[in-house]
Amino acid sequence: MSEPLVQVEGLTRRFDISKPWLNRVIERESRQFLTANADVGFSINRGETFALVGESGSGKSTIAKMIVGLLAPSAGSIRFDGQEMDFASGADMRALRRRFQMIFQDPFASLNPRWRVRDIVAEPIVTFGLLKGAEITREVDRLLEVVGLSAADAAKFPHEFSGGQRQRIAIARALSSKPEFIVCDEPTSALDVSVQAQILNLMRDLQDEFGLTYLLISHDLSVVRHMATRIGVLYLGRLVEVADAKRLFTEPQHPYTRMLLDAVPDLALSGRRRKPVLGEIPNPIDPPSGCAFHPRCPLAADICKRETPAPRPTPTGQAACHFAGQNSEVA
Amino acid sequence: MTSDTQSSLARFWDSDIMWSFRHSPVAIVAGLVVALIALAALFAPWIAPTNPYDPAALNLMDGFTPPMEPNAFTGNSYILGTDNQGRDVLSTILYGTRISLFVGLSAVLFAMVLGITLGLIAGYRGGWVDGLLMRIADVQLSFPSILIALLIFGVARGLIPPAYRETMAIWVLIVAIGLSDWVQFARVVRGATMVEKSKEYVQAARVVGAHPVKILIKHILPNVMGPVLVIGTIGLALAIIAEATLSFLGVGVPPTQPSLGTLIRIGQQYLFSGEWWILLFPSIALLALALSVNLLGDWLRDALNPRLR
C-alpha cells in the first residue's frame, strides 16, 4: 500500500479558558484549559474519503482547522505527503498550501458579500500566482461550468444565488488552486435536504474526475454513509473508532459507535426499535477519568475508570476500548 | 440580467440607498443645502463681490456698514454689511466657509484613516495590541475632545518655529482636530472587524495563505465601511464645529485667513454695540452647514440600518 496522503499523529489542542489574570489572583483560581482534541491519530489514503463523525462539541471542526492551519495544534504532528506541516514557515508552506483546500459549512458566510463571483473563485489562483490576466477569467469560467453554474455568473454577487449555488461557488474556489486534498467541514449541513444530495453527488463526481482526497467532517450519518470510504468516530475530542465505512454500520466495534447507530431513525420501517442516546457529552473542561465514555457505557467496568484505552486493532479497523475485539459477542 | 446591461450610474440611481434618499424630504433638503454651500465655497473667488484677503482692496472707512445701507462716509453699499475692518461680510463668509469646510473635511479624513487603520489592527490582531490601543482610546475618551485639540494645538505651536506658525497653523489645526476624533472610528471598526474576521470567507483567505494586510484591506475593510461612512458624516459636522470653536477661542486659523469661527469671534465683540450683522450672518452660515451635514448623517445611518427599513 502506498504512503498515506495525510498522516495525523498525537494531535492535541487545548484552549485556555482561564479568567483574566487579576480575577485568578483575587479569586484564587488556577488556569483552566479545555481539551478539544486529545491524542488524535489517523491517516488518509490518496483518493479516499475519510469521514470524521461525532456529536456537537466532539472536536470535529477543531481537527479540520488544525489540518488546514487555521488553528495551531498544542501538540502532535500533521504530515502531508510525507512532509511535516509547519505553518510558521512561510516559504515552504506556500508550495504545500496550494495542494489542500477547504470547503466551509455556511455558504452564506464563506463568500465575501462585496466581491464578485469571479474574484471569489480566482482568489486562490491570484494568491498563489498560478495564472495571469485573461487566463484567470478563462479558468474561472471553466471552473464555474465544472461545478454546474454558467460562466455568466462570474459577474454577479453572492447574494444573487441560493444556498446550494453558493456552495457550488465555494467548491469552484476550492478547486481553483488544483488541490489534491480538500477538507470539507459540514459541507451540506446548512443546505436544504433536497439540495444536499446534489452537492454530495457533485463532490463525488469531482473526486472521480480530479482524483481528489476528502476529509469529510459531518454529524450526519446518512451523509457519511453516502460519501465515506473510511470513518473515524470522535467522542469528547478523542478518536474512539476508525473503521471501513461499510462495515462500521454493520459491525460497530466501540460501544459508543453502536449507541450512535441505534439512535438513527429507522426509515426502512423494519420494526427495529430505536434506542435513544443515553446521557449527554460530559463537560470537556473536566472529562471523566480513564475512558471518557465510561459514564454512559453499558459495558463499563472498573478498568475503564482507571485506564485510558489505547487504540486496538479490530476486524474492521481500530477501536479505543478495553473490550474492543471481544465485545461483539458480549453485547 | 438587468444588472449587466445597465450602466453603473443607472445602477447607483436604482440602488437601495438612492431609493431611500429620493423618499426622504429631509435628506433631499439637507443634501441641497450642503451642495449649495459647498459649491459657493468652492467657487468663492468667482462669486464673492470682493476679495477679503487682499489688504489693498480694503478701506477702513467702509467699516461697520450695516446691511443694504450705504456707508456714511464712502457711500458704498453691501448686501450683508461689512465688519470692523471694512471687509464685505458676504465675501468673508464665502471665503470663511471654504476654510471651515477644508479644515473639517481634512480633519475627518485624517481621523478616518487613522481610526480605521488602528481599528482594523486592534480588531484583527486582538491580544495585547488590542488592549493597548483600546486603553489609549479609553483614556482619550475620558477628556472632552476640544480639550485634546487645544492641547495638541498648543504643543504643536510650541514646537514649530515662529516663522512658520502662520503658514502651518491650518495644518496643525487639521491634525489637532483629527487626533481628537479618531477614537470613534477605531472603536466602530474594531468591533466590526472582530465580527468579520471570524466569518468563513476570511478563513478561506487564510487557508490559501493570503497576507494579513491583504485580508484586512480587500476582505474586511469593504465590509466595515457602512458604519464608518455614517460616523464620518456626523464627524464632519462635529469637526466643522470644533474648528469654529477653536477659531472662536482664538487658537485656530490666523486672523488673515478668517474661517467662520474667526468671523463669529470678531462679530461677538461688536454685538452689544449694535453691529449685529457681523455676528449673525456667519453664525447662520455655520448653523446651516453643520445642521445639514448632521441631518445627512442621520439619514445615512437610518438608510444603512436594515432593521429600520
| pLDDT at B307 (0 to 100) | 61
| pLDDT at B116 (0 to 100) | 96
Go through chain B and tell me how many residues it has. Answer: 309
- CB–CB of A111 and B201 under 8 A? yes
Please name the member of A113, A156, A177 whose beta carbon is closest to the beta carbon of B208.
Answer: A177
> Whole-angstrom Cα distance, residue B282 to residue A183?
66
| pLDDT at A174 (0 to 100) | 95
Domains and CATH numbers, chain A: 6-244 (3.40.50.300), 245-331 (no CATH)
Q: Which residue has the higher pLDDT, A287 or B189?
A: B189
| pLDDT at A270 (0 to 100) | 67
| pLDDT at B41 (0 to 100) | 92
Residue A82's DSSP bridge partners are: none
Spell out which residues of chain A touch residue B219, defining contact as CB-CB under 8 Å: 112
| Distances, alpha carbon B269 to alpha carbons B91, B97, B109, B242, B266, in Å | 20, 20, 33, 20, 6
Tens of pLDDT, residue by residue over A120-142, are 999 999 999 999 989 999 999 99
Please name the member of A104, A114, A128 whose beta carbon is closest to the beta carbon of B208.
Answer: A128
Q: How confident is the model at residue B3 (pLDDT cuts 50, 70, 90)?
A: very low
Please check whether residue B282 is in contact with residue B263, taking contact to mean a CB–CB distance below 8 angstroms: yes
Tens of pLDDT, residue by residue over A32-59, are 888 888 889 999 999 999 999 988 888 8
Percent of chain A scoring above 90 in pLDDT: 47
| pLDDT at B194 (0 to 100) | 95
The sheet carrying A6-16 orders its strands as A33-44, A6-16, A75-80, A83-84
Q: What is the mean pLDDT of residues A14-23?
A: 85
> Whole-angstrom Cα distance, residue A167 to residue A108?
9
Tell me the backbone φ, ψ of residue A234, rounded to 5 degrees. Answer: -105, 140
The sheet carrying A49-53 orders its strands as A100-103, A181-185, A213-218, A49-53, A230-235, A238-244, A317-319, A312-314
Q: How far is B122 from chain A (nearest CA, A)?
A: 19
Tens of pLDDT, residue by residue over B15-60, are 778 888 888 899 999 999 999 999 999 998 898 888 887 777 777 7
Please check whether residue B90 is in contact with residue B77, taking contact to mean a CB–CB distance below 8 angstroms: no
**Number of Cβ pairs < 8 A linking chain A and chain B:** 60
Tens of pLDDT, residue by residue over A219-228, are 888 899 999 9
**Range with the poorest average pLDDT among A103-117, A220-234, B53-67, B117-131:** B53-67
Q: Which residues contact A126 (CB under 8 A, 6 or more apart)?
A: A136
Q: How far is A98 from chain B (nearest CA, A)?
A: 7
Rounded to the nearest 10°, the torsion over CA B24, B29, B30, B36 is 150
* pLDDT above 50: residue A330: no
Q: Does A163 touch chain B (CB under 8 A)?
A: no
Q: What is the mean pLDDT of residues A71-78?
A: 90
For A117-154, give one letter per residue: b (16+ CB within 10 A) or e. bbebbbbbbbbbebbeeeebeebbbebbebbebeeebb
Cell numbers for A18, please give them: 482561564
Q: Does A187 touch chain B (CB under 8 A)?
A: no
CA angle, A81 then A84 then A90, to 5°: 110
> Whole-angstrom Cα distance, residue B151 to residue B129?
26
Q: How confident is the model at residue A328 (pLDDT cuts 50, 70, 90)?
A: very low
Query: How many C-beta atoms lie closer than 10 Å to residue B203's C-beta?
Result: 19
Q: What is the mean pLDDT of residues A279-285?
A: 79
**Range with the poorest average pLDDT among B4-13, B33-42, B79-88, B246-255:** B4-13
Tens of pLDDT, residue by residue over B213-254, are 999 999 999 999 888 999 999 999 999 999 999 988 888 888
Tens of pLDDT, residue by residue over B94-128, are 999 999 999 999 999 999 999 999 999 999 999 99
Spell out which residues of chain A touch residue B200, defining contact as CB-CB under 8 Å: 104-106, 109-110
Q: How confident is the model at residue A271 (pLDDT cuts 50, 70, 90)?
A: low
CA angle, A97 then A98 then A101, to 5°: 80
Percent of chain A scoring above 70 in pLDDT: 94
Please check whether residue A187 is in contact with residue A203, taking contact to mean a CB–CB distance below 8 angstroms: yes
| pLDDT at B140 (0 to 100) | 92
Domains and CATH numbers, chain B: 24-308 (1.10.3720.10)
Q: How confident is the model at residue A266 (pLDDT cuts 50, 70, 90)?
A: low
- CB–CB of A70 and B203 under 8 A? yes
| pLDDT at A164 (0 to 100) | 93
Please name the member of B204, B209, B223 whose beta carbon is closest to the beta carbon of A173.
Answer: B204
> Whole-angstrom Cα distance, residue A228 to residue A298?
28
- CB–CB of B223 and A114 under 8 A? yes
| pLDDT at A327 (0 to 100) | 47
> What mean pLDDT, rounded, does chain A reach?
88
- CB–CB of A102 and B204 under 8 A? yes
> What mean pLDDT, rounded, does chain B reach?
88
Query: E strand or H helix at A193, and its extent?
Result: helix A193-210
SS3 B6: coil
Spell out which residues of chain A touch residue B208, defining contact as CB-CB under 8 Å: 97-98, 101, 123-124, 127-128, 177
- CB–CB of B209 and A68 under 8 A? no
Q: How confident is the model at residue A20 (pLDDT cuts 50, 70, 90)?
A: confident
Pick the residue of B135, B207, B218 with the most A CBs within 10 A to test the interface with A by mutation: B207
Q: What is the mean pLDDT of residues A64-79?
A: 91
* pLDDT above 70: residue B2: no
> Whole-angstrom Cα distance, residue B228 to residue B233?
9
Q: Which of A242-246, A312-316, B162-166 has the highest mean predicted lDDT (pLDDT)? A: A242-246
Percent of chain B scoring above 70 in pLDDT: 96
Cell numbers for A137, please give them: 477569467
Q: Which of A88-97, A280-289, B47-56, B281-290 has the highest mean predicted lDDT (pLDDT)? A: B281-290
| Distances, alpha carbon B87 to alpha carbons B54, B56, B62, B167, B219, in Å | 10, 11, 8, 22, 52
Percent of chain B scoring above 90 in pLDDT: 48
| pLDDT at B1 (0 to 100) | 40
